[in-house]
């Protein structure tokens, strides 16, 4: 199995509903997102997928989040904008265009991340 990993980032604000602590207040993060794609074989050129293509898929999803208030994005009007929910949402949106997505990790700082994967 071959794994291709790409990373991107965006800046956004959010606040957590149903949470009692500092994160219930409006605050922001410089989010780092990591997407891993898994392939059983390589193309004739010796690649699983072009890094440019994989990064483009990731960035096409993230552009809607950059410099936004996540709670006002339609997907998060009812769904809490936690790192866990963001990881699944990003995964699902990438999967619509590439079924080889294996996992998505959402880092809200250098020490804390949530990962979603189906396999």
pLDDT digits (tens, 9 = 90+) for 4-35: 999 999 999 999 999 999 999 999 999 999 99
Whether 1 has a pLDDT exceeding 80, the answer reads: yes
Per-residue model confidence (pLDDT) at position 60? 97
Active-site residue, selected from the candidate residues 3, 24, 67, 118 = 67
Active-site residue, selected from the candidate residues 23, 24, 27, 72 = 23
Share of the chain residues as helix, strand and coil, in percent rounded to the nearest 5: 30, 35, 35
Topology of the domain covering 2-116? Tetrahydropterin Synthase; Chain A (3.30.479)
pTM value is: 0.95
**Residue 118, both tokens:** 């189906």
Q: Yes or no: say if 48 and 37 are a contact pair by the CB < 8 Å rule.
A: yes
Per-residue model confidence (pLDDT) at position 119? 65
Residue 67 among the catalytic residues: yes
Average pLDDT over residues 48-56: 96
Residue 14 among the catalytic residues: no
pLDDT digits (tens, 9 = 90+) for 56-88: 999 999 999 999 999 999 999 989 999 999 999
pLDDT digits (tens, 9 = 90+) for 99-115: 999 999 999 999 999 99
Interacting residues of 25 by C-beta distance below 8 A, sequence separation 6+:
15
Q: Yes or no: say if 33 and 8 are a contact pair by the CB < 8 Å rule.
A: yes
Q: Which long-range contacts (CB under 8 A, 24 or more apart) does 81-88 make?
A: 81/14, 81/16, 82/16, 82/114, 83/107, 83/108, 83/112, 83/113, 83/114, 84/114, 84/116, 86/31, 86/114, 87/114, 87/115, 87/116, 88/116
> Exposure of 78 by Cβ count < 10 A (0-12 exposed, 13-18 middle, 19+ buried)?
exposed
Q: What is the residue extent of each domain of the chain? A: 2-116
Per-residue model confidence (pLDDT) at position 19? 93
Residue 113 among the catalytic residues: no
Pairing of strands 68-69, 2-14: parallel
């Amino acid at each position: 199995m071959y794994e291709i990993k790409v990373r991107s980032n965006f800046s956004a604000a959010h606040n957590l509903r149903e949470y009692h602590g500092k994160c219930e207040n409006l605050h922001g993060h410089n989010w780092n997102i990591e997407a891993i794609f898994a392939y059983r074989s390589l193309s004739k050129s010796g690649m699983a997928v072009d890094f440019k293509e994989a990064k483009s898929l990731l960035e096409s999803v993230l552009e809607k989040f950059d410099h936004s208030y996540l709670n006002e994005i339609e997907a998060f009007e009812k769904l809490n904008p936690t790192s866990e929910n963001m990881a699944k949402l990003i995964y699902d949106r990438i999967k619509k265009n590439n079924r080889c997505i294996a996992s998505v990790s959402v880092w809200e700082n250098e020490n804390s991340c949530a990962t979603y994967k189906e396999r």
